[in-house]
Amino acid sequence: MAGQSSSSIKRQGDQYYEKQQYRSALNAYRQGGLDNSQEKEQREKIGVCLFEINDVEGALKIFQELINEGKTAPSVFLHTAKCYQSLSRFMEANGFYKKFLQTTRKNDPLRPWVKDELIRCGNGMRLVFAEEIAYVENAGTTINTQFSEFGVRTSPTTIDRIYFNSDRDDVTLAKKANGNVDLYSSTLTNGRWSTPFPLPGTINTPGFDQVTGFSSDGQILYYLTASGKNFVIKTDTFTTEENQIHRGVFTGPFNSGHGGIDLYFFNDSICLFASDRPGGYGGYDLYISILSHDTWSKPSNLGPAINSFYNERFPFLARNGQMLFFSSDNLQSMGGFDVFMSNYDPTLYAWTTPENPGVPINSPLNDTYMVLSPDGMTAYLSSDRKEGYGDEDIYRIFFKKPIEAHQQISGIPTFYHVHLAAGDTSSSSVNVVPEPVEIKEYYISHLFIEEGGEILTPQNNKKLDLLVNLLTIYPNIMAELSCFELSSGQRSFSIYFSIKKAEKVADYLVSKGIQRNRLILKGYGDSFPIVVKPAPNMSSPVYVKLNQRLEFNLLNYEKDPVIISTEVIKVPENLQDQKGIKFSSLRNSLYYSVQFASISQILQNEAIEPIEELYIEVDNAQGNYLYMAGMVPTFKEAEKMMSTMIGLGFPDARVVPYLNGARISADAVPDLAQQYPDLLFYMAGKRK
């Protein structure tokens, strides 16, 4: 950086910082003499860099100075909390997480995560006093560097030989570019690790390569390697000789580039892996696939006893086939990913509730890739805990008592039969006892339209992915998509633009596997604003933001084991628009509208411009736009609206009854009339 100005060095440091290359960013800041900067934001960045390179005490010193100076940014409280949590000082972390919540804005996207961290800190306070079942030590600097070493697989043929992955560059002694990773091997002899050596160039490529496991006889290595934008699993005899006889591509039950990671092979016939494919319980779930008659079965979810709304990853199955280790960032962890253990109960055909073994196996940071050594007395773990040497280190676990499940060899696990029978309805060899039904809870958030009219933003897509998860698991549920948008001139344009946005969201859901006939699409334009229009020459960001949105209304879930809470948009009482209040009061009850046109394009007719309550509904059967007027609680009011629309030149206008946002079919009206007597007037009107 010789010859560069301090400002250009700072810019370079900021570029490293944005790319999360904290060590390089810190070097640049120091080169530019910014260690003693009076600028609070700059000092905060230096504190973050120190935390990320494991100098937690140095980071805490900077953050505490910033707090003492007053007018503290909420992010400083957040960083301070993370520091204390990483040191297992959960009580102090709790306090600073709460200060963050007290000082940050109510719509800060980090608030839900921080609330989860408060729960995890509570777990940490409890787990630090639990009985320790093992000792844990860092594998040392022969194995670990300042970069990432992770994902140990033990050799099935050579005692105390391990294979692992690292993103270090042995030639330049630096971090490999673009996240590239190679495979390494090392052997423990007389308590010392040999210098790790990279596997040959027939396996390691200039891209990403990761060891995933071995065949039962130890002759074949399975490894993940980059292939274009995706990954493939390859096989090799992993010898330095050139006569490789098993080299090829593994054809498994998934596409590892989309829907399959963290692979673990058991006895050549079972593959466990993590996937975020639709139909799971949230985040990544654990799946199993079984090889039978040279064919891998369709992946089967391990179920709600193992999987949660959060992420379950990095599976490992003990050799008795009935004890599962995995990592999860659920609300039973003490921070980041924790290792969990679960046993399969062959009498109940069910997994037991996963247990958190506590410290020192787990830490407040990410603890992953746990694998047992063949003796059942030791294990390996990958972790980014702050006492480590680098980004991620390999640790060795010494159990106080052997893991007996790993000393009992099973050819085929008990739950193998259960999953095999689940795919064969004619099988009578297994009498599976039904598991208790778990009631799942979902919180569905509405979408807000960004400036410029964009609705499929990254933040909104995350909300939609949660909806996809819900609709995939419960195929009877329907979703009403109601889009609202401010008028840009003619009201016929505003309702048309709003239905087009609803269609755009529907296209996203359909692309994720949701059937179109499960979606009710409506575009209301500016018919039902929830915030009153400001006075002339006055601006109101609240008016613009809250009146341009897409709301969800879920239907037909009463018989499913699920609790659904939908976001309630809060509007100050003095800003509430009566039209929006009317809409909210009617949408989940019986109401009527008048359908006056069914066409495939926009309806431009000056006669409809004065109608206050207009909207479009999509006819899923024919694809037409159904133009609707009014939203009223009684049939008599709807009849008056129908007469108005006929008088405006729409002779085919007719009354349509709705219940909870969905049209009531003709055959359902008589039964519902007993509960909703006003439908009797509708029935009488139909007979006229």
Most confident stretch, 288-297, 566-575, 593-602? 593-602
Q: What is the mean pLDDT of residues 301-327?
A: 92
Tell me the CATH number for domain 134-422: 2.115.10.20
Q: What is the mean pLDDT of residues 233-243?
A: 53
Rounded to 5°, the CA angle 636-641-647 comes to: 130
pLDDT at 502: 97
User: Mean of the per-residue pLDDT values for the chain?
Assistant: 86
Rounded to 5°, the CA angle 482-455-510 comes to: 70
Q: Which amino acid is at 98?
A: K
pLDDT at 422: 46
Q: What is the mean pLDDT of residues 136-165?
A: 92
Dihedrals φ, ψ of 551, to 5°? -100, 150
pLDDT at 196: 95
Q: pLDDT above 70 covers what percent of the chain?
A: 90
3-state secondary structure (DSSP) of residue 626: strand
Dihedrals φ, ψ of 199, to 5°? -70, 160
3-state secondary structure 151-180: EEEECCCCCCEEEEEECEECCCCEECHHHC
> DSSP strand E in 377-475: where?
378-383, 393-399, 440-444, 447-448
Report the CATH superfamily, name and number, of domain 6-127: Tetratricopeptide repeat domain (1.25.40.10)
Rounded to 5°, the CA angle 223-226-230 comes to: 115
Q: What is the mean pLDDT of residues 161-176?
A: 85
440-687: which CATH number, 3.20.20.210, 2.60.320.10, 3.40.190.10, 3.30.1330.60?
A: 3.30.1330.60
Q: Read off the pLDDT band of 53 (50, 70, 90).
A: very high
Q: Read off the pLDDT band of 230 (50, 70, 90).
A: low
Q: What is the mean pLDDT of residues 14-40?
A: 90
- Would the pLDDT of 258 be above 70? no
pLDDT at 501: 96
pLDDT at 254: 57
pLDDT at 27: 92
Q: Report DSSP state, residue 102.
A: H
Q: Using CA atoms, how far apart are residues 635 and 686, in angstroms rounded to an integer?
A: 11
Q: Using CA atoms, how far apart are residues 71 and 45, in angstroms rounded to an integer?
A: 17
3-state secondary structure 464-495: HHHHHHHHHHCCCCEEEEEEECCCCCCHHHHH
pLDDT at 243: 40
pLDDT at 540: 80
Q: What is the mean pLDDT of residues 6-27?
A: 90
Contact of 332 with 342, CB cutoff 8 Å: no
Q: Using CA atoms, how far apart are residues 517 and 519, in angstroms rounded to an integer?
A: 5
Q: Using CA atoms, how far apart are residues 509 and 467, in angstroms rounded to an integer?
A: 8
Rounded to 5°, the CA angle 468-567-110 comes to: 85
pLDDT at 406: 87
Cis peptide before 541 (omega within 30 of 0): no
Q: Which amino acid is at 578?
A: Q
Q: What is the mean pLDDT of residues 586-597?
A: 94
pLDDT at 236: 59
Q: Using CA atoms, how far apart are residues 323 and 340, in angstroms rounded to an integer?
A: 11
pLDDT tens, position by position, 362-376:
999 999 999 999 888
Dihedrals φ, ψ of 440, to 5°? -100, 150
pLDDT tens, position by position, 93-122:
999 999 999 999 999 999 999 999 999 999
Q: Which residues contact 431 (CB under 8 A, 6 or more apart)?
A: none
Query: Which residues are registered as beta bridge partners of 210?
Result: 224
pLDDT at 425: 33
**pLDDT greater at residue 296 or residue 197:** 197
- Would the pLDDT of 6 be above 60? yes
User: Comparing C-alpha atoms, which of 379, 370, 374, 357 is closest to residue 408?
Assistant: 374
Residue spans per domain, the chain? 6-127, 134-422, 440-687
Q: What is the mean pLDDT of residues 136-144?
A: 95
Q: Which residues contact 235 (CB under 8 A, 6 or more apart)?
A: 220, 221, 222, 223, 246, 247, 248, 249, 250
pLDDT at 450: 85
Q: Average the pLDDT over each of 148-157, 431-440, 547-556 and give the range with the smallest value.
A: 431-440
Q: Read off the pLDDT band of 42 (50, 70, 90).
A: very high
Q: Which amino acid is at 126?
A: R
pLDDT tens, position by position, 454-510:
999 988 998 999 999 999 989 999 999 999 999 877 888 999 999 999 999 999 999
- Residue 170 is encoded by which pair of tokens? 């042995």
3-state secondary structure (DSSP) of residue 559: coil
Q: Are strands 562-566 and 440-444 parallel, antiparallel or unpaired?
A: parallel
- Would the pLDDT of 428 be above 70? no
pLDDT at 294: 72
User: Comparing C-alpha atoms, which of 47, 123, 63 is closest to residue 96?
Assistant: 63
Dihedrals φ, ψ of 303, to 5°? 95, 170
- Could you tell me the strand order of the sheet in which 478-484 lies? 447-448, 549-555, 478-484, 519-525, 614-618, 625-632, 590-599, 654-659, 662-663
Q: Read off the pLDDT band of 566 (50, 70, 90).
A: confident
Q: Average the pLDDT over each of 69-83, 136-150, 338-352 and give the range with the smallest value.
A: 338-352
